Chains A and B, each alone.
Chain A
Amino acid sequence: MSEMESIHKLLRHSFTPLNLGHYIGEFSVSRERDIEASGLVLNVEVIPSTANTSCNFGEWVCNQLVLERPCELSVGETSTEVLLKACVSHFATSMYLPEELQRVIDGLQKKFEVFHRIFTEYDSNLRKRSDKYRDPACYALLSIILQLRYYESGNFNDINTAVKINDLLLKSPWSALGKKCREAEIALSLEKNLLKEMNAD
């Protein structure tokens, strides 16, 4: 099985049988096990709670990634990683994304959902400018932004894609395993926090 075939298989969720009694518990246990095996360190305790309405998750993520803000740039003039980091800084300063960046994130989300990969460089029309797609930081940053956008909009489409990306961060052939990827640690920490809050609803 080729690398992409194994990734498509991992993300094939249509009509997956439901084990209603145990799935969520089993998912949490399996996540914990995968995180432990990956060597990533999560620090969920320091994430602000959604109960605190004045909290700014973007600012928290920026501080964790030591990002400067605000960061202005044009789509197509830089790498996917730099562009996604600029999106995070926008969340830190204004708690939402400008229209142009929203469209870019929608486009990258669609690319991930359809093709299951994100390239390290795109042009201004979101056509790939590089053949490299194995950088966990790009995936993790997209997952972070989708989770930040979910906090802002409540759109479950965003958290849905983020969970799928996080699956790949731990299980794909190019996973964050053993790479000390700070972005992946933050993406998984946000997911853990979010699921804790959703389960407590």
Chain B
Amino acid sequence: MQINQLPIGLLLQPSLRSIAYLSVMKELGVAPQEVVLMDVPISKLDAVRVESRNFNYKEDFFDVDLDIRQILENWGCVTHVVSTGSANDPQVHAAIDQCESAQIIFTGGGILSKKTLSRGKSFIHAHPGYLPEFRGSTCFYYSLLTDLSLAATVFFMEEKIDTGQIIARQRFRMNYQVEKSQPLFVDYILDPYIRAETLKKALVQYIKKGLFEQKPQPLAARPAYYVMHPLLRHLAINRVNQHYNQDAPMGVFLDED
């Protein structure tokens, strides 16, 4: 398949999420023209690959065996490798300054510092919650716990958490039984999957129009959510399992916005 390089950069913190993002780019036949690649190992990768073989994540979600370095090489992306795992490290700043792209998709987590955000680039992030209702940390768990909803939003990052201009939002329906032997599914497959599918929506828009259309984000009525306690994360998963309908197709499906 021919790959079309887009004038977009990628700030790539290796993770299952990065693999999911590269998977949708591969599916769309597009690639970033340049990448700032943090040279750090992927957390839990071997364990996720074992779980993936047992539960066929490749068919229903994304291919966790995709090799990040190999695919970037195949696509001919200009790659700046930095030996840090922090997006706010001076090495990353120097690499970003070398990038030609005005817009950079950030694949990592955490907060980008003022120094990182003020390098003359626009950073794009995929957040696992419907903004502005669900902003903050571990939002897909809060969303599931509140009303069994699931969504993600792609937006331009600002200094304030999850407040920037919205590029794309996507809701999902979930009918899934999380087995006891799938301890990594929610954090390492489901979360990256919904982000990547929403990023795909944003990229499709970019491919059609040559730009990311954006609209202002309404003011949030509630404070941002905080990192969820494991007890509530379990209650959220229990709620998903309690509502699993074995007579309906199993999976995670795109829903109308």
Binding site for B on A (CB under 8 A): 13-21, 23-24, 27, 106, 109-110, 113, 154-157, 159-161, 163-164, 167, 195, 198-199, 201
Contacts and interface: CB of A to CB of B under 8 A. Distances in A.
B237 interface: yes
B219 interface: no
Contacts of A154: 146
Given A19-B183, A20-B182, A155 B230 contact: no
A109 B136 CA distance: 14
A163 B234 contact: no
A14 B226 CA distance: 10
A157 B231 contact: no
B183 A20 contact: yes
A17 B51 CA distance: 14
Contacts, number: 73
B70 to A, nearest CB: 26
B183 A159 contact: no
Given A27-B231, A154-B146, A156-B145, A20 B226 contact: no
A20 B239 contact: no
A16 to B, nearest CB: 5
Contacts of B235: 24, 198-199
Interface in B164-193: 178-180, 182-183, 186-187
22 contacts: A13-B227, A14-B137, A15-B43, A16-B233, A18-B186, A18-B230, A18-B233, A19-B183, A20-B178, A20-B180, A20-B237, A21-B180, A23-B230, A24-B235, A24-B238, A109-B223, A155-B222, A156-B142, A156-B145, A157-B136, A157-B142, A201-B239
B230 A156 contact: no
Contacts of A163: 229, 231-232
A156 B239 CA distance: 14
Given A21-B180, A199-B235, A160 B230 contact: no
A27 B233 CA distance: 12
Nearest to B186: A18
A167 B231 CA distance: 11
Given A15-B187, A19-B183, 15 more contacts: A13-B228, A13-B229, A14-B137, A16-B230, A18-B186, A20-B180, A20-B183, A23-B231, A23-B234, A27-B230, A156-B232, A157-B222, A160-B225, A163-B232, A164-B229
A195 B225 CA distance: 20
Sort A-B residue pairs by CB-CB distance and give the 8 closest, nearest first. A21-B180, A113-B226, A20-B180, A163-B229, A23-B234, A18-B183, A16-B230, A157-B225
